[in-house]
């Protein structure tokens, strides 16, 4: 009774496979809605992440049959353009970009996206209402990232082509409702019939299958790819994540803008200030500017802001993207096979 659209095979009949409009080398063999929509082999999207997801990471993921995204959030427009050009040279498969809607020069990003003939845009942190029709007019697919069912419904009204529903366990900026992926995905399934990508807390093939059972068509994976060889994050940051343990990330700076951070000196500084009822201005001053760059890109582990998901504690090695993708898909298919063991998983005496 609860999940009105739990595993939505009934929607496939209606699906217009938009990937035919893309000028891509499609390996879209599956009936899976995310594979069909983006013309990719596996429903695995690499999250756009500040200071991690440049052309090298995005093209590596796309070359492995997933969907790589160049994260514009930490790039000046000219750098963004350069990354798009390099990604085009590095892969013939579909890739996309992620743009946070609060980006100050967003018009310049849009111009570049159109000029460079990018056909997949993920938007986040804002309302996709205005931008979606503009991008659609250019034949661009739009997926929007939300942290609540209410915003999923609004995004559908705005006309987006797919939803990314990102739970509390995700790294970086996050919703105020603190809804975890396990609760969020069924809620979003009730709010919208759009193709749905689960995000937050997914670093393994088992978690991928688990969220698809909850109703997602595919997954967005951030942290695991942030700690790959191809991620542009600093080696210090990658090693610090590898050595982190459970409980080492917490949702922080809630009075300004909730963001999941890894514990370090900066984290404690903010936390102590919050515990002492610092004002928003005081927090903003402590935060300053360029903290994420300092921590994640320049590797200053004490002073920098270290954004990563709760799954950081599960990541125990820096690996090439090809190995990560292989691991995830192997785990996924193994889990799928094990479920066929009737004596363990079937209780209905059939």
Distance CA 310, CA 90 (A): 31
DSSP character at residue 76: -
Helix (H/G/I), strand (E/B), else coil: 330: helix
Compare residues 66 and 68 and give the one whose CB is closer to its own copies. Answer: 66
Distance CA 49, CA 107 (A): 20
Compare residues 88 and 254 and give the one whose CB is closer to its own copies. Answer: 254
Q: How far is the CB of 103 from its own copies (least distance, A)?
A: 26
As beta bridge partners, residue 100 has 124
Compare residues 33 and 83 and give the one whose CB is closer to its own copies. Answer: 33
The answer to whether the CB of 274 falls within 8 A of the CB of 283 is yes
Q: How far is the CB of 203 from its own copies (least distance, A)?
A: 6
Q: How far is the CB of 67 from its own copies (least distance, A)?
A: 13
Compare residues 207 and 253 and give the one whose CB is closer to its own copies. Answer: 207
Q: Which residues of 184-196 are buried (b: 16+ CB within 10 A; e: fewer)?
A: bbbbbbbbbbbbb
Distance CA 76, CA 254 (A): 27
Distance CA 230, CA 322 (A): 10
Compare residues 136 and 206 and give the one whose CB is closer to its own copies. Answer: 206
Compare residues 116 and 331 and give the one whose CB is closer to its own copies. Answer: 331
Q: In terms of Cα–Cα distance, which of 308, 114, 333 is closest to 200?
A: 308
- How many CA atoms does the CB half-sphere of 132 hold within 13 Å? 20
Q: How far is the CB of 131 from its own copies (least distance, A)?
A: 25
Q: How far is the CB of 213 from its own copies (least distance, A)?
A: 5
First to last CA, the chain: 22
Helix (H/G/I), strand (E/B), else coil: 184: helix
Compare residues 9 and 104 and give the one whose CB is closer to its own copies. Answer: 9
Joined tokens for residue 186? 């069924």
- Per the listing, tokens 């990003």 go with 109
Which conformational region is residue 18 in: left (phi greater than 0), alpha (psi within -120 to 50 degrees), or beta?
alpha
Q: How far is the CB of 181 from its own copies (least distance, A)?
A: 5
As beta bridge partners, residue 143 has 122, 162
Compare residues 123 and 148 and give the one whose CB is closer to its own copies. Answer: 148
Q: How far is the CB of 55 from its own copies (least distance, A)?
A: 25
Q: How far is the CB of 80 from its own copies (least distance, A)?
A: 31
């Amino acid at each position: 009774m609860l999940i009105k659209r739990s595993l939505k095979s009934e929607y496939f009949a209606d699906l217009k496979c938009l990937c035919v409009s893309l000028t891509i080398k499609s390996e879209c063999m599956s009936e899976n809605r995310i594979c069909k929509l983006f013309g990719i082999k596996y429903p695995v999207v690499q999250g756009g992440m500040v200071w991690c997801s440049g052309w090298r990471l995005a093209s590596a993921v796309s070359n492995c049959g997933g969907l790589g995204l160049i994260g514009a959030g930490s790039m000046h427009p000219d750098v963004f353009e350069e990354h798009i050009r390099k990604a085009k040279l590095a892969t013939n498969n579909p890739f996309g970009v992620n743009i946070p809607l609060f980006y100050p020069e967003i018009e310049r990003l849009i111009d570049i996206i159109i000029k460079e003939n990018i056909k997949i845009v993920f938007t986040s942190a804002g309302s996709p209402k205005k931008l979606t029709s503009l991008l659609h007019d250019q034949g661009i697919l739009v997926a929007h990232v939300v942290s609540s069912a209410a915003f999923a419904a609004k995004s559908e009204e705005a006309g987006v082509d797919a939803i990314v529903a990102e739970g509390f366990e995700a790294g970086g900026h996050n919703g105020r409702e603190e809804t975890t992926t396990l609760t969020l995905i069924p809620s979003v399934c009730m709010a919208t019939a759009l193709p749905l990508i689960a995000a937050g807390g997914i670093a393994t093939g088992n978690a991928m299958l688990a969220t698809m059972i909850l109703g997602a068509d595919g997954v967005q994976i951030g942290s695991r790819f942030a700690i790959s060889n191809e991620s542009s994050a600093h080696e210090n940051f990658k090693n610090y994540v590898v050595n982190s343990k459970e409980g080492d990330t917490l949702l922080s700076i809630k009075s300004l803008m909730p963001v999941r951070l890894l514990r370090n000196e900066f984290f404690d500084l903010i936390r102590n200030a919050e515990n002492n009822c610092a004002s928003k201005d005081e927090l903003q001053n402590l935060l300053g500017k360029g903290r994420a760059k300092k921590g994640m890109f320049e590797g200053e582990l004490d002073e920098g802001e270290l954004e990563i998901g709760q799954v950081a504690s599960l990541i125990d090695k820096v690996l090439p993207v090809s190995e990560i993708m292989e691991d995830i898909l192997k785990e996924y298919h193994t889990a799928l096979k094990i479920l066929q063991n009737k004596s363990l998983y079937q209780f209905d005496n059939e």
